[in-house]
Amino acid sequence: MARKLKLRIWRGNSTDGGLQDVVVDANEGEVVLDVIHRVQADQMNDLAVRWNCKAGKCGSCSMEINGKPRLACMTRVASFEEDETITLTPLRAFPVIKDLVTDVSFNYKKAMEIPAYEAPAELKAGEARMAQVDVERSQEFRKCIECFLCQDTCHVIRDHEENKKSFAGPRFFIRIAELDMHPLDMLRNRKQKAQEEHGLGMCNITKCCTEVCPEHIRITDNAIIPMKERVVDVKYDPARWLGSKIRKRDGIL
């Protein structure tokens, strides 16, 4: 059942590179990562590709397939036309290291900027009680496998290197939302900080991030929009603004 598959793979490094055509056998049921591995084993031993679990669970094999940010391990060869050439390029929003491998350290830097979970001081191990319905909202965001496809596709940074400094990106908006909705987290002001320090305001909810999410997390609808709405609520409601100043409960949101 093998078919000949035409691939066009970007090869190069941080300074130079281009697309190279290669023809490779593809068997029934295979995914793009399988054929990349076959190219690597038989034709280009030093072809660089990052991967790990090959099951859509670790988020390592992110790349652009025909220009779309996708996981190579979850993209079936059968989803392409018989004579279609599949073009494989590295993630565009991040600097290339080699071939299909990019430097994603931007994301780890942003992770460092999000204040960590803060447990209630008096809570003892084993005594936490939370309702399933209350943990589910955060659990949706904790499904994130950190493939950074949402970061790659987000037009705020995709072609705007200058925005990276002040914009955490969708992955970290759901991290903030997750902590904000965590039934026990004690740190206040997460939403305002998202707006003021992490660039939530730069997002104009085009939902590109939601579209590429392999975990089908509703990034825009369930994390970004609710946070934006609550921030707007407080910012432009004079009574609430005054209340928060008087009672010093600015973290009540």
Partner 1 sequence: MSNSLERYKYDIVVIGAGGAGLRAAVEAREAGLRVAIICKSLFGKAHTVMAEGGVAASMGNVNDSDNWMVHFRDTMRGGKFLNHYRMAELHAKEAPERVWELEMWGALFDRTKEGKISQRNFGGHEYPRLAHVGDRTGLELIRTMQQRIVALQQKDARDHGDAESFIKVFAELTVTDILKDNGKVSGAYGYWRESGKEVLFEAPAVILATGGVGKTFKITSNSWEGTGDGHALALKAGGNLVDMEFLQFHPTGMVWPPSVRGLLVTESVRGDGGVLTNTDGIRFMFNYIPDVFKDKYADNEAEADRWYTDQANNRRPPELLPRDEVARAINSEVKAGRGTEHGGVFLDVSKRLPADVIKKKLPSMWHQFYELAGVDITKEAMEVGPTCHYVMGGVEVDPDSAAAVGVPGLFAAGEVAGGMHGSNRLGGNSLSDLLVFGRRAGIGAVDYVKGGAANPVSETSIHTAQEKIEKPFKQEGGENPYALHQELQEVAHNLIGIIRTKSEIEEAISKIAQIRQRAANVTVGGERLFNPGFHLIFDLDNMLLVAESTAKSALLREESRGGHTRDDFPGMNATWRQVNHISSFDGNQVNVKQQSLPSMPKELFDLFDIHELEKYMTSEEIAKGGSN
Distance from C-alpha of 94 to C-alpha of 107, rounded to nearest angstrom: 10
Angle of the 105-113 helix axis to the 170-181 helix axis, nearest 10? 30
- Rounded to a whole number of angstroms, the minimum distance from the CB of residue 35 to partner 1 is 9
The verdict on 251 binding partner 1 (CB under 8 A) reads no
Alpha helices in the chain (DSSP H): 32-42, 105-113, 132-142, 149-153, 155-158, 170-181, 190-196, 208-212, 225-236, 238-246
Nearer to partner 1, 131 or 246 (CB): 131
| Residues 72 and 31 sit within 8 Å (Cβ to Cβ) | yes
The verdict on 65 binding partner 1 (CB under 8 A) reads no
| Residues 93 and 154 sit within 8 Å (Cβ to Cβ) | yes
Neighbours of 204 (CB within 10 A): 7
- Rounded to a whole number of angstroms, the minimum distance from the CB of residue 234 to partner 1 is 25
Options 16, 55, 122, 204; binder of partner 1; rule CB under 8 A: 55
CA angle 7, 84, 61 (to 5 degrees): 45
Options 2, 21, 52, 233; binder of partner 1; rule CB under 8 A: 52
Distance from C-alpha of 252 to C-alpha of 63, rounded to nearest angstrom: 41
Piece of 2-10, 83-91, 110-118, 235-243 that binds partner 1 (CB under 8 A): 110-118
Residues in binding contact with partner 1, number by CB under 8 A: 58
Nearer to partner 1, 47 or 200 (CB): 47
The verdict on 206 binding partner 1 (CB under 8 A) reads no
The verdict on 128 binding partner 1 (CB under 8 A) reads yes
- Rounded to a whole number of angstroms, the minimum distance from the CB of residue 133 to partner 1 is 9
Whole-angstrom CA distances from 160 to 35, 82, 92, 164 are 33, 36, 11, 7
Whole-angstrom CA distances from 32 to 44, 95, 102, 169 are 16, 22, 18, 27
The verdict on 131 binding partner 1 (CB under 8 A) reads yes
- Quick note: the x/- pattern for partner 1 over 154-173, rule CB under 8 A, is --------------------
Side chain identity, residue 155: H
The verdict on 4 binding partner 1 (CB under 8 A) reads no
- The per-residue b/e assignment along 238-249, b for 16 or more CB within 10 angstroms, e otherwise, is eeeeeebeeeee
Piece of 58-66, 156-164, 188-196, 202-210 that binds partner 1 (CB under 8 A): 58-66
Nearer to partner 1, 82 or 127 (CB): 127
Binding positions for partner 1, rule: CB under 8 A: 13, 27-31, 34, 40-41, 45-60, 74, 76, 97-99, 101, 104, 108, 111-112, 115-117, 119, 123, 125-126, 128-132, 135, 138-139, 142-146, 179, 182, 185
